């Protein structure tokens, strides 16, 4: 697996090289000291994965991510000091297509295996994703439809997802009364920061989903751990470790499939931008249940992977550009997004 490093700190580069040297399948193909250099190197020798710092001279990591994903798309993981303090820039980079984020490993940490663990796990998972070896979801046979109750909107997103979620959720009116649950591929270390970031941009309240609670009308709940969020019944959500063989944690497929199995009202499933196939089979299970299912179109997707997989298997009843999805959801749920209702 060929890897590019973008970091202006020689000590950080040494730390990253030391981590990568622990796996003989990982090869550093180039090192860039700033974002501008990274853009040129990525165009000349596009690697499988780029480890992108955020705070650099000449061009920062957010702008470099945007330009690379536009011209020479590849997997990008933000690797920077103090993720919590730089949460806003992390989500901006993810909005442009970065897949994940992790703190820069420290040279000072005595246990090198412990220091390298989080980054190596992410790199290996992305390697499986690039090679198409993600564990396929096991879609359940859909049960018979029940009588109509309240509405549930199930959202799934990965690379490019924070910005897409902000656009979609920000366009829902304050009187929107359906329950909204979003599963974004994001590490639990900064899931709370992402919920706060989305809450500041949306008319509806956004917070992390809590163990054992029911979907809340008029509230956006975000999956908040590295375990699998699912419905255990129409009025109870839970985080579970099993099945442990899922590449994606949290998994969109697992949540969508639990909606198809357990939700007793009407629902809308939406699969947004992202790399890989997570969510495609879950969205199909929701469509087979009779729910409205939407996939983001290619033109507005930062990474056209998950929506493309859903379209290929007929999981989406509608394929729409991102700016039209909120209005379609609102119409389905019987709510207008007209300006006089905002």
Ordered structural domains, the chain, with CATH: 2-130 (3.40.50.2300), 151-341 (3.40.50.180)
Can you read off the two tokens belonging to residue 285? 């299970």
Res 134: pLDDT:
46
pLDDT category, 125, cuts 50, 70, 90? confident
pLDDT of residue 142: 45
Residue 242 has pLDDT above 60, yes or no: yes
The pLDDT assigned to 335 comes to: 73
Q: Is the peptide bond before 243 cis (omega within 30 degrees of 0)?
A: yes
Mean pLDDT of 23-48: 95
> What pLDDT does residue 143 have?
46
Catalytically active residues are: 158, 185, 278
What is the rounded average pLDDT of the residues 270-280?
94
- Is the confidence at residue 135, as pLDDT, over 80? no
Least confident of 11-20, 126-135, 168-177, 228-237: 126-135
- Quick one: average pLDDT of 101-124? 72
Average of pLDDT values for 319-324? 97
- Residue-wise pLDDT tens digits, 149-197: 489 999 999 999 999 999 999 999 888 999 999 999 888 877 888 898 8
Helix, strand, or coil (residue 197): helix
pLDDT band at 115 (very low <50, low <70, confident <90, very high): low
Please, which residues have CB within 8 angstroms of residue 221's CB and are 6 or more apart in sequence? 179, 180, 181, 182, 206, 207, 208, 209, 213, 215, 237
Determine contact, residues 153/179, Cβ cutoff 8 Å.
yes
Query: Residues near 147 by Cβ (< 8 Å), separated by ≥ 6?
Result: 264
Out of 193-197, 306-310, 327-331, 337-341, least confident range: 337-341
Short-list 107, 99, 105, CA closest to 127: 99
More reliable by pLDDT, 334 or 280:
280
| Residue 118: exposure state from Cβ atoms within 10 A (0-12, 13-18, ≥19) | middle
Neighbouring CB atoms inside 10 A of 181's CB total 23
Least Cα distance to 289 among 331, 254, 332, 258 occurs for 258
Mean pLDDT within 20-34: 93
The SS3 call for residue 27 is: strand
pLDDT computed for residue 132 by the predictor: 59
Q: Residue 109: what pLDDT?
A: 56
Average pLDDT estimate for 303-314: 95
Question: Quick check: 334 pLDDT over 60?
Answer: yes
Give the pLDDT band of residue 213 (cuts 50, 70, 90): very high
Q: Which is more confidently placed, 149 or 24?
A: 24
Once rounded to an integer, what is the mean pLDDT over residues 79-99? 83
Per-residue pLDDT at 217: 93
pLDDT digits (tens, 9 = 90+) for 36-79: 999 999 999 999 999 999 988 889 999 999 999 999 999 999 99
pLDDT recorded at residue 336: 58
């Amino acid at each position: 697996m060929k890897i590019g490093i973008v970091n202006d700190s020689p000590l950080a580069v040494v730390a990253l090289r030391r981590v990568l040297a622990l796996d003989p399948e990982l090869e550093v193909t180039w090192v860039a000291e700033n974002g501008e250099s990274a853009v040129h190197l990525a165009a000349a020798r596009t690697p499988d994965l780029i480890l992108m710092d955020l705070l650099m001279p000449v061009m920062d990591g957010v702008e470099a991510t945007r330009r690379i994903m536009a011209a020479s798309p590849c997997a990008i993981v933000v690797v920077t000091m103090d993720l919590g303090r730089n949460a806003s820039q992390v989500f901006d980079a993810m909005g442009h297509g970065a897949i994940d984020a992790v703190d820069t490993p420290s040279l000072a940490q005595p246990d090198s295996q412990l220091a390298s663990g989080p980054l190596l796990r992410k790199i290996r998972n992305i390697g499986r994703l690039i090679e198409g070896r993600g564990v396929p979801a096991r879609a359940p046979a859909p049960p018979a439809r029940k009588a109509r109750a309240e509405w549930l909107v199930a959202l799934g997103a990965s690379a490019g997802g924070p910005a897409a979620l902000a656009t979609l959720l920000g366009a829902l009116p304050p009187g929107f009364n359906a329950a909204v649950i979003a599963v974004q591929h994001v590490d639990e270390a900064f899931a709370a920061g992402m919920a706060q970031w989305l809450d500041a941009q949306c008319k509806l309240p956004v917070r992390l989903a809590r163990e054992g609670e029911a979907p809340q009308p008029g509230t956006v709940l975000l999956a908040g751990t590295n375990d699998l969020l699912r419905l255990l019944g129409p009025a109870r959500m839970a985080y579970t470790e099993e099945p442990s063989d899922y590449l994606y944690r949290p998994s969109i497929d697992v949540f969508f499939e639990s909606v198809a199995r357990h939700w007793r009202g009407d629902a809308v499933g939406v699969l947004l931008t992202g790399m890989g196939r997570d969510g495609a089979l879950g969205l199909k299970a929701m469509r087979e249940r009779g729910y409205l299912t939407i996939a983001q179109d290619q033109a507005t997707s930062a990474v056209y992977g998950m929506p493309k997989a859903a379209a290929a298997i007929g999981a989406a009843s509608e394929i729409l550009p991102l700016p039209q999805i909120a209005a379609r959801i609102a119409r389905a749920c019987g709510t207008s997004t007209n300006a006089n209702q905002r």
